[in-house]
DNA sequence: GCTAGCACTCTTTTTCTTCGAGTGCTAATT
DNA sequence: AATTAGCACTCGAAGAAAAAGAGTGCTAGC
């Protein structure tokens, strides 16, 4: 299966030229680059075609890489590219303004990835199952209290509860000890009707409030588990010549705009190299992605969380540059979210988590 | 300026036929509908053209409505349409599953509006300036406490503060009284360096923490002011024949995907009727919207908040149906967010606000 | 094993033609 | 005076035919 050195050079040149121009590559164009005549290249190319690395759109056009050709290119031939200083600086700049909310951070990262790569991008974070570490109840007035829950992943959630009847300070305190006793360290699935009922039995005159706080707890845990998934720059597709056909563009855009569908099909089986995973055309599971490629990178989001960022584009994607950019961004995110080399400002050391919410 | 009854009928027919088919409308096609011969219609149409309500793409094509024609249609001619039961039910269904987070609600509403109308849609809420109503500090351990701020708009925000040194319970209590004394009822702009410094002076051995909590406070207020803006279904554009040209589609999609740009140009000067505002083609301020139309509706989001939902499409938009759907959704939102006729479940009465956050 | 040359293939581009929907005008009709 | 029928004319859209051009595969010579 090993290709001669010259075949490799030719395949590389075909892939890179096709990536750059979206035009089938002819033998003449390569003659200069490779250093032999076009006839020789023609012979080599026809062998590469027989081996399945190149394809001919029609008898007398140039050659185009096949999915297998791209695969070989990605795995063995392509050079690991470095970012220009300007690009690296742009990424660092953006990441430096760290966001408080995970959702928002994902949006920003998706945006960043998309503008850097010129392809549609997505960003997501996966969280491990969480539990509540402690509850606090803040008594506001006779009809109002706030529940604050500190989760194992160090997020804080809260809820303002407004009652149609009044409660005493002591009742809220009771509620607090009850929940700290029964609902801490408990995961999603472990909150059963039984647990709620037994807590209600123990609750005395505050039993009516147990259900409310319990459902809040379940929501917290569910929300902590849900992975925020953001897609950005879908319209970038339209600048790619392969999507000049509005129907194709529409189909793919619909697909990628729906985060949940995209999410399902992402963990496609594909070799992972240096934290990067590339799925090319037909390697993708989703029908909609069969003529497209996906490049994704994973990052360490701290607290046992793992995140992914990725890019969707035509199979004729600039893998080398996209891979470099994704790696860089992923590394930056790992550093930002989980890294030990945090910057020195007071702000960074002190402020770890913050919570916001509105009905 | 008043048109004869027959001219009105002809203009209406032209607009509606063009909306339906995207094809210029000829005299023959209307002859049946209007009840006179094509020659008569030709005469009428040429007068309507002279008046500026119709246009001719070229000498010998049919007629197409001009922006002025659409305007007249929207203001006077179009019939207020009713939703089908199925549509109304679909909207009610979706809205019934109310979301806790404003951001998320906006996303859902954008999505809903877009799928109902088949056009790209946006949703946003505008909030009045807020202040903190009260602070609570939860002492977690020697290195950790949580700040909880209840805002005037009844949102609750919180932040987990992790310290590189230790504090006593009493110090946190001091901090609490300090902030409740100095930082409640204070808006965004009123938090000055002076205020922070004078608080620090009064803070004794906790002065180092004042800056942290103060900056948190400012973030809360800033976040409360920022209007979440969501755009959904941008890819719907591609199904419109006027956007079969990928360059046009790309330009407009870029524009509408950028919420902030869209937001700036929306409060365009346009007459508002029944809570609806329609801007047609050149009436739009943004260059990118000059061949498009925007229909927006506003709703009451409670707590003095006003929200907007809207739809972007070609000037050849189905104004009548879009207007009906937007009104319905806006009314539903008003009811949901500000209405007095809230549903009866315990859950709804008790649970008003909830907050979530993560670094 | 490489290269030059050449006939052949097949798409793309261009040009030319045809077709037809729709108009505007005029003259006849009500 | 308003409406209608009739007709010549315009102008884009669609189609056919022709020309151009890029690239191949093959053969023969180096």
**pLDDT tens for each residue of A269-309:** 566 777 899 999 999 988 999 999 999 999 987 777 788 99
Element at A121 (helix H, strand E): strand A121-126
pLDDT at A37 over 80: yes
Q: Mean pLDDT, to the nearest integer, of A98-118?
A: 85
Q: Residue A357 has what pLDDT?
A: 46
Q: Residue A100 has what pLDDT?
A: 62
Residues of A in contact with B223 (CB under 8 A): 356
B68 in contact with chain A, both atoms CB, cutoff 8 A: no
Tell me if domain A5-77 and domain A85-127+227-350 are identical in fold.
no
The values of phi and psi at residue A149, to 5°, are -120, 125
Element at A281 (helix H, strand E): none
- Residue pointed to by tokens 């979440």: B228
Q: Residue A271 has what pLDDT?
A: 62
Q: Residue A320 has what pLDDT?
A: 94
The full DSSP string for A1-66 is -PPPHHHHHHHHHHHHHHHHH-SPBPHHHHHHHHTS-HHHHHHHHHHHHHHTSEE-SSTTS-BEE-
The confidence band for A16, taking pLDDT boundaries of 50, 70 and 90, is very high
**pLDDT tens for each residue of A52-61:** 999 998 888 8
Instruction: Pick one of 3.30.450.40, 3.40.50.300, 2.60.120.200, 3.20.20.150 as the CATH number of A85-127+227-350.
Output: 3.30.450.40
pLDDT at B358 over 60: no
Q: Mean pLDDT, to the nearest integer, of B6-16?
A: 94
Distance in angstroms (rounded) separating the CA atoms of residues B267 and B260 = 12
> What torsion do the CA atoms of B264, B268, B272, B275 make, to the nearest 10 degrees?
-10
Distance in angstroms (rounded) separating the CA atoms of residues A280 and A322 = 14
* Contact state of B212 with A355 under an 8 Å Cβ cutoff: no
Q: Residue B339 has what pLDDT?
A: 64
A67 CA, D26 C1': Å apart: 29
For residues B225-255, one letter each, b for 16 or more C-beta atoms within 10 angstroms of the residue's C-beta and e for the rest, the string is eebbbbbbbbbbbbebebbeebebbbebbbb
Q: Mean pLDDT, to the nearest integer, of B117-141?
A: 89
Distance in angstroms (rounded) separating the CA atoms of residues A171 and A178 = 11
Compute the mean pLDDT over every residue in chain A, rounded to the nearest whole number.
Answer: 85
Q: Residue B349 has what pLDDT?
A: 31
The confidence band for A94, taking pLDDT boundaries of 50, 70 and 90, is confident
Nearest to A140 among B150, B164, B355 (CB): B150
Higher-confidence residue of B271 and A17: namely A17
Residues of A in contact with B262 (CB under 8 A): none
Q: In what order do the strands lie in the sheet with B229-232?
A: B229-232, B121-126, B305-314, B292-302, B276-280, B272-273
Nearest to A215 among B102, B164, B347 (CB): B347
CA A354-A102-B153 angle, 5° bins:
50
Q: Mean pLDDT, to the nearest integer, of B170-182?
A: 91
What CATH topology corresponds to B132-225? Enolase-like; domain 1 (3.30.390)
For A5-77, CATH gives 1.10.10.10
Q: Mean pLDDT, to the nearest integer, of B91-98?
A: 83
Q: Residue A358 has what pLDDT?
A: 42
Q: Worst-scoring range by mean pLDDT, A84-93, B66-75, B80-89, B128-137?
A: B128-137
Q: Residue B190 has what pLDDT?
A: 86
Question: Per the structure block, which two tokens stand in for B127?
Answer: 């909030």
* Contact state of B353 with A353 under an 8 Å Cβ cutoff: no
> What torsion do the CA atoms of B312, B317, B320, B324 make, to the nearest 10 degrees?
-30
Contact (Cβ atoms closer than 8 angstroms) between residue B172 and residue B135: no
The values of phi and psi at residue B127, to 5°, are -115, 150
- Alpha helix (H) residue ranges in chain A: 5-21, 27-34, 38-51, 67-72, 85-96, 102-117, 169-182, 193-202, 207-225, 246-257, 259-265, 319-338, 346-350
The confidence band for B100, taking pLDDT boundaries of 50, 70 and 90, is low
Using DSSP's 3-state secondary structure scheme, residue B49 falls into helix
Q: Mean pLDDT, to the nearest integer, of B83-110?
A: 84
Nearest one of B7, B44, B46, B41 to B27, comparing CA atoms: B41
Adjacent-strand bridge partners of B302: B305
Contact (Cβ atoms closer than 8 angstroms) between residue B261 and residue A276: no
The full DSSP string for B119-169 is S-EEEEEE----BEEEEEEEEEETTEEEEEEEETTS-EEEEEEE-SS---H
Q: What percent of chain A has pLDDT over 90?
A: 45
Q: Residue A267 has what pLDDT?
A: 62
Q: Residue A50 has what pLDDT?
A: 92
Closest chain A residue to the Cα of B106, Cα to Cα: A359
Q: Mean pLDDT, to the nearest integer, of B256-284?
A: 80
Residues of B in contact with A164 (CB under 8 A): 349-350
Q: Where are the domains of chain B?
A: 5-77, 85-127+227-350, 132-225
* Contact state of B356 with A235 under an 8 Å Cβ cutoff: no
From B231's Cα to the closest Cα of chain A, the distance in A is: 11
Q: Worst-scoring range by mean pLDDT, A123-132, A216-225, A248-257, B221-230?
A: B221-230
B335 in contact with chain A, both atoms CB, cutoff 8 A: no
Q: Residue A350 has what pLDDT?
A: 34
pLDDT at B342 over 60: no
């Amino acid at each position: 299966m090993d290709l001669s050195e010259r075949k490799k050079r030719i395949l590389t040149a075909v892939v890179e030229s096709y990536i750059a121009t979206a035009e089938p590559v002819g033998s003449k164009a390569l003659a200069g680059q490779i250093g032999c005549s076009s006839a020789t290249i023609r012979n080599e190319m026809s062998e590469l075609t027989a081996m399945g690395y190149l394809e001919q759109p029609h008898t007398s056009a140039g050659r185009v890489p096949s999915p297998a050709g791209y695969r070989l290119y990605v795995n063995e031939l392509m050079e690991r590219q470095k970012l220009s200083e300007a690009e690296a600086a742009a990424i660092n700049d953006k990441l430096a303004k760290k966001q408080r909310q995970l959702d928002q951070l994902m949006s920003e990262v998706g945006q960043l990835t998309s503008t850097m790569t010129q392809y549609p991008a997505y960003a997501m974070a996966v969280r491990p199952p969480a539990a509540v570490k402690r509850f606090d109840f803040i008594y506001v007035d006779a009809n109002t209290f706030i529940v604050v829950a500190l989760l194992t992943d160090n997020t804080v959630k809260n809820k303002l509860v407004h009652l149609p009847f009044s409660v005493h300070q002591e009742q809220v305190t009771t509620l607090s000890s009850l929940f700290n006793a029964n609902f801490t360290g408990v995961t999603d699935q472990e909150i059963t009707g039984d647990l709620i009922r037994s807590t209600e039995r123990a609750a005395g005159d505050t039993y009516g409030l147990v259900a409310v706080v319990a459902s809040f707890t379940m929501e917290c845990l569910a929300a902590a588990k849900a992975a925020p998934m953001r897609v950005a720059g879908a319209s970038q597709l339209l600048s790619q010549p392969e999507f000049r056909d509005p129907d194709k563009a529409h189909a793919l855009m619909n697909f990628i705009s729906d985060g949940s569908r995209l999410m399902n099909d992402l963990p496609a089986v594909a070799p992972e190299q240096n934290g990067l995973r590339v799925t090319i055309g037909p390697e993708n599971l989703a029908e909609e992605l069969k003529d497209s490629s996906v490049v994704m990178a994973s990052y360490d989001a701290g607290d046992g969380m793992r995140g992914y960022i990725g890019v969707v584009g035509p199979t004729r994607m600039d893998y080398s540059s996209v891979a470099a950019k994704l790696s860089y961004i992923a590394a930056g995110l790992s550093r930002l979210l989980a890294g030990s080399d945090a910057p020195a400002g007071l702000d960074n050391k002190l402020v770890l988590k913050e919570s916001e919410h509105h009905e």
